[in-house]
Amino acid sequence: MKHLGVALASAVLVTACSSPTTNSVPVAAAASQTPAAFVPRSGIVIHAGAGNFTLADLGERREPMREAMTAALMAGHNVLTRGGSSLDAVQTAIVILEDSPYFNAGKGAVFNHEGKNELDSSIMDGATHRAGAVAGLRHIKNPVLLARLVMEKSPHVMMVGEGAEAVAKEQSGIAFVDEKYFYTERSWRALQRELEKEKAQPQKPSGSAQLQPPGSPGAYFGTVGAVALDAKGNLAAATSTGGMTNKRFGRVGDSPIIGAGTYANNDSCAISSTGHGEYFIRYTVAHDICARVEYKSERVQAAADAVVQDELKKAGGEGGIIGMDHNGNVAASFNTTGMSRGYVGEDGKPTVMFTTEDAGPLGPQTK
C-alpha cells in the first residue's frame, strides 16, 4: 500500500547516525497531511532492550536473538494479517520474547540483589485507553498475559506481587512456574559481577540499582516491548521486563508504569520504552512523546527524538523507545549505542537491527 509516496517499510528502523548518541530513524509524512480516505498501514515494531553495547558485545547471542525477534515479529504480523487486533499482536510478540532465554523478560529475567527475580509488565489499548500492569511477579511465566488479564478481568489497572499472582490463580490461562524457571547462567553471572563491584565500592548503598556508566562496553538492558497498529486503525503497546540487575528488592521500574514505559492512544501514538527506568518514570517518557504528537502535531519520530535525545539525555537518562502513530508511521530513538529492534509492515518482510553499526542502506537521518 502506498502512503503519501513514502516507502517506509524499507526505511524503517535504519539507525545509522553520525553520532552514536543521536539514533533516530526516518519517518513518514506527518498526520496533518493525511488525506481523508487514507487507510492506515498496519504493522508491528518490537524492541529487545537498549544499552551501550556493540555488535561484538552481543557475540554468539546475536543470531539466536535475531531468530527470536524475527519469530516474534512474524507471529505479531500473522495476527494482524488475519484481521486480529493490535492488542493481540503485541501480546503474541511479547510472549515469544518472554519465552526466550536471551532477553530480560520472562525466562531470561535478571536477578535482584537477593538473587531473586521480580518481573514487571504492562499493556495498553489505544482504542479504549484501558490498561493493565503487574509488578514484582515471582512465579508467572508470561507477565504480559497477567497484565492483559488485569486489564480485562479486574476493575484495576495495576496489581503487584502476591496480590497480582492471586488474580492469576482465580482465572484460567495463566501459567505458574517455580522460581527456578527464571535461572539463566548469563543473568546469574551478571548479578555476581555487580555484587563484586559493589564490594569494591562499599560507599554505594547496598542493592542500589546498578547500570553500567554511560559508554561502558557491554551494558545491556534487555527488556522487551512491542507496539502495533491494526487494520481498524487501533494502536496498542506492551512492555515486559525483569527490571535491572542487582535492583533492590521491591524496586519497580518504568516498564509497568502506564505513561512511562508503555502508552497507547489512537489519537496520537503507541510507545514502549527501555532503559534506566527511574528516568523514564520521572520524565513520563511514553506519554510525553504521544502528547507532543497529539497537541503539537509533531511527527512521532521528531517527538521521540525531542524526548529521548534532548530531555532524557540532558538528565542523564539512558535508553530508547519504539513507536508507531495512528497512520502507521514508525519511530525508534535511543541515546545509547544499541537498541535491539525490529519491524514488519504489510509486505511481511521483517527487519531486525541491534546497534548503530548495523544500519541498512538508507543511512542516517540526523536532526
Contacts 24+ apart (CB under 8 A), 198-205: 198/246
* Contact call for residue 305 and ligand ASP (CB under 6 A): no
| Minimum CB distance to ligand ASP, residue 347 (Å) | 29
* Active-site residue, 223 included: yes
Distance CA 319, CA 310 (A): 12
Shorter beta-carbon distance to ligand ASP: residue 43 or 275: 275
* Contact call for residue 49 and ligand ASP (CB under 6 A): yes
* Contact call for residue 318 and ligand ASP (CB under 6 A): no
* Contact call for residue 274 and ligand ASP (CB under 6 A): yes
* Contact call for residue 275 and ligand ASP (CB under 6 A): yes
* Contact call for residue 256 and ligand ASP (CB under 6 A): no
* Contact call for residue 126 and ligand ASP (CB under 6 A): no
Q: Which of residues 211-240 bind ligand ASP (CB under 6 A)?
A: 221-223
Question: Residues 15, 92, 184, 223: which is the catalytic one?
Answer: 223
Distance CA 156, CA 260 (A): 18
Shorter beta-carbon distance to ligand ASP: residue 244 or 352: 244
Instruction: Report which secondary-structure segment, H or E, holds 263.
Output: strand 262-264
Cell numbers given for 29 = 509524512
Question: Which residues, at least 6 apart from 180, have a Cβ–Cβ distance to it below 8 Å?
Answer: none
Helix (H, G, I), strand (E, B) or coil at 213: coil
Question: Which residue is listed with cell 553500567?
Answer: 212
Distance CA 305, CA 309 (A): 5
Shorter beta-carbon distance to ligand ASP: residue 253 or 328: 253
In the beta sheet, which residues pair with residue 239?
A: 122, 225
* Contact call for residue 253 and ligand ASP (CB under 6 A): yes
* Contact call for residue 272 and ligand ASP (CB under 6 A): no
330-334 and 23-24 strand pairing: antiparallel
Strand order in 224-229's β-sheet? 158-160, 131-137, 119-125, 235-241, 224-229, 43-51, 338-344, 351-355
Q: Confirm if 195 and 44 have CB atoms less than 8 A apart.
A: no
Cell numbers given for 168 = 492469576
Distance CA 321, CA 129 (A): 20
| Count of residues near ligand ASP by CB under 6 A | 14
* Contact call for residue 335 and ligand ASP (CB under 6 A): no
Question: Which residues, at least 6 apart from 183, have a Cβ–Cβ distance to it below 8 Å?
Answer: none
* Contact call for residue 104 and ligand ASP (CB under 6 A): yes
* Contact call for residue 254 and ligand ASP (CB under 6 A): yes
Among 92, 122, 184, 255, binds ligand ASP (CB under 6 A): 255
* Contact call for residue 118 and ligand ASP (CB under 6 A): no
Among 126, 243, 259, 338, binds ligand ASP (CB under 6 A): 243
* Contact call for residue 207 and ligand ASP (CB under 6 A): no
For the beta carbon of residue 46, count every other beta carbon within 10 angstroms.
30
Rounded to 5°, the CA angle 317-320-326 comes to 130
Choose the binding region for ligand ASP from 140-148, 164-172, 198-206, 253-261 (rule: CB under 6 A): 253-261
| Minimum CB distance to ligand ASP, residue 116 (Å) | 15
| Minimum CB distance to ligand ASP, residue 266 (Å) | 25
Q: Confirm if 132 and 152 have CB atoms less than 8 A apart.
A: yes
Binding site for ligand ASP (CB under 6 A): 49, 104, 221-223, 241, 243-244, 253-255, 274-275, 277
Catalytic residues: 223
